[in-house]
Structure 1
Amino acid sequence: MKVLEERHGPVAKVILNWPEVMNALDMEMRLELAQLLRRLSSDEEIRAVILTGAGKAFCAGGDIRSQQGLGIPQLRKRLDAAYECINLLMRIPKPVVAAVNGPAVGAGFSLALATDIIFASDKAKFSQVFSKIGLVPDAGSIYILSRMIGLPKAKELVFTGRMIEAREALEMGLINRVVPAAELNSAVLSFAAELAHGPTAAYGLAKQLFLQAQHNDLETFLKVESYSQIIAMHTRDYKEGVSAFLEKRQPRFTGQ
């Protein structure tokens, strides 16, 4: 298996598992990752997801060797498989936290960007390496980068393909936290567990609103927001949150 799953209570840890080639994304890994993410999306026992890589790398991007000699139909299938993974990460109705344990380059960088929160070890590095081999970024990189850090910085990263250290990525607003490598797993698991015990139904609705905010004008967005809030007000978590507030106690959310 090139994608592994570990369960830590309500948290699922998804591990890209081809460390011999820095977890490069061949077709097999793309399909396995998409299949697992689809299953986790509908698994009511899982309320938060961690994405990380086995060994010393997060993900080296597409596996160049396995795409040599492919025709247009086969190349399109490879790209579509990557796009499905990006879409699933961005739309899965529960928080996804990336634990970037080493290099995240090319499509591997895109996978990290598609998650909701990014923790990086102090040994992590990031690069839009595509230009180094004469390609344009794929897996949604330009779409996400330009919205996160603006066009000037996004274009610089894309055109130069330069490698940036975790601290610079943090300063640019690309990631959320940098932690010592030895503490990455425990820090991410603790954070994900905290999210998993929160109002995850509301988190899922909020994720959809973040996506809607990127496309719609204010009037349209507010209509979608109103619809989402009405849904949230009919959840058990909302009733529990109000009861806990009135009773001056900590809420016990269930994600329903």
Structure 2
Amino acid sequence: MPSILYEVRDGVGIITLNRPDKLNAVNREMALLLKEKLNACAADKQVRCIYITGAGKAFCAGQDLTEVDPDNEDTNLILREQYNPLVWKIRTIEKPVVGAVNGLAAGAGANLAFCCDVVIATESAYFTQAFSKIGLIPDTGGTYILPRFVGWQKASGMMMLGDKIGAIEGEKMGMLYKVFPDAVFEEETFKIAKQLANMPTKSLAMIKHALNFSAIYSFKEQLDVEDEFQKIALHSHDYKEGVKAFLEKRAPEFKGE
């Protein structure tokens, strides 16, 4: 079986990490296939939302350590060639990305999920920054994103101690958008992905970019970012359609244009 499964349904590109016997730990093949499928989603006009989940009982257990040689000084090439391009792609792709965390999300697997635009977890899922337990530091964007989710102290403690954080606690901390019971998780998360796919995805892409800028810009600079993106949005088909549909009291038909 391929390490990544892919299908398009109802405008949603569904990417499934598919090494369930390894808790979807990432090897080189999986990383390259995931990047390939993200590129396919970016290029396919029929795909208006991307949905990433895991097969089996885990979302992703992080790096497959059987591919790591601790005596090889170039081991961090894995980071530069695999993980960094992946999370950069997720953060810059001009379509909303839903991280549907169906179970364990550890190390790079947790941070891969956190890079998604909307992170949703099943009640039985849990997250851990497991890096310190093998003498490493969090990567895959974790040191950047997690403090912005939960604050400095929580992030520092989670990273240094490697605590397991359950989905319900994670939602309260601000790590997740929503948590659903296991029995309805797939149905409810895909419903959110379909909703995003039917929205004005051009404006969603600009929301995403604006949020990226907000992490580094001053308040004044961010006002300029909002002004620039709003100028583009005001000339879009979907803005005109949205206003027209509101005035005509009907459901809008957005095109992502």
Please give the TM-score of this superposition, normalised by the length of structure 2: 0.96
Per-residue CA distance 1:152-211 (angstroms, 9 max, x = gap): 000010011011111111111101111111211111111110111111110001100000
C-alpha displacement of 1:148:
1.1
Per-residue CA distance 1:50-107 (angstroms, 9 max, x = gap): 1100111000001111112563345324443101111111111111111111100000
Provide the C-alpha distance between the structure 2 equivalents of 1:78 and 1:247, rounded to a whole number of angstroms: 52
- Rate the CA distance shift 1:36–1:70 in 2: closer, same or farther, 3 A: farther
C-alpha displacement of 1:239:
1.1
- Rate the CA distance shift 1:9–1:70 in 2: closer, same or farther, 3 A: farther
Could you tell me which residue of structure 1 aligns to residue 93 of structure 2? 92
RMSD, matched Cα: 1.3
Alignment of 1:59-98 (within 5 A): 59-68=60-69, 71-98=72-99
- Bigger CA drift: 49-58 or 3-12? 3-12
The amino acid that maps onto 1:118 is V
Could you tell me which residue of structure 2 aligns to residue 179 of structure 1? 180
Number of aligned residue pairs: give it.
256
Per-residue CA distance 1:202-253 (angstroms, 9 max, x = gap): 0001100000111111222222221111111111101101111221222111
Provide the C-alpha distance between the structure 2 equivalents of 1:6 and 1:249, rounded to a whole number of angstroms: 31
Whether 1:160 aligns to 2:135 is no
* Contact 1:23-1:54 at 8 Å conserved across structures: yes
Whether 1:226 aligns to 2:227 is yes
Alignment of 1:103-122 (within 5 A): 103-122=104-123
Could you tell me which residue of structure 2 aligns to residue 235 of structure 1? 236
Provide the C-alpha distance between the structure 2 equivalents of 1:2 and 1:211, rounded to a whole number of angstroms: 30
The amino acid that maps onto 2:199 is G
C-alpha displacement of 1:42:
2.5
Identity of aligned residues (%): 39
Alignment of 1:27-46 (within 5 A): 27-46=28-47
The amino acid that maps onto 2:63 is G
Name the SS for the 1:44 alignment partner: coil
C-alpha displacement of 1:4:
1.2
Whether 1:127 aligns to 2:128 is yes
Runs of 4+ in 1 over 4 A off after TM superposition: none
C-alpha displacement of 1:35:
1.4
Could you tell me which residue of structure 2 aligns to residue 55 of structure 1? 56
Could you tell me which residue of structure 2 aligns to residue 214 of structure 1? 215
Provide the C-alpha distance between the structure 1 equivalents of 2:167 and 2:79, rounded to a whole number of angstroms: 29
Structure 2: gaps spanning 5 or more residues? none
* Contact 1:79-1:139 at 8 Å conserved across structures: no
* Contact 1:27-1:78 at 8 Å conserved across structures: no
Please give the TM-score of this superposition, normalised by the length of structure 1: 0.96
The amino acid that maps onto 1:34 is K
Could you tell me which residue of structure 2 aligns to residue 14 of structure 1? 15
Provide the C-alpha distance between the structure 2 equivalents of 1:113 and 1:197, rounded to a whole number of angstroms: 23
Provide the C-alpha distance between the structure 1 equivalents of 2:159 and 2:233, rounded to a whole number of angstroms: 39
* Contact 2:210-2:226 at 8 Å conserved across structures: yes
Provide the C-alpha distance between the structure 1 equivalents of 2:152 and 2:249, rounded to a whole number of angstroms: 46
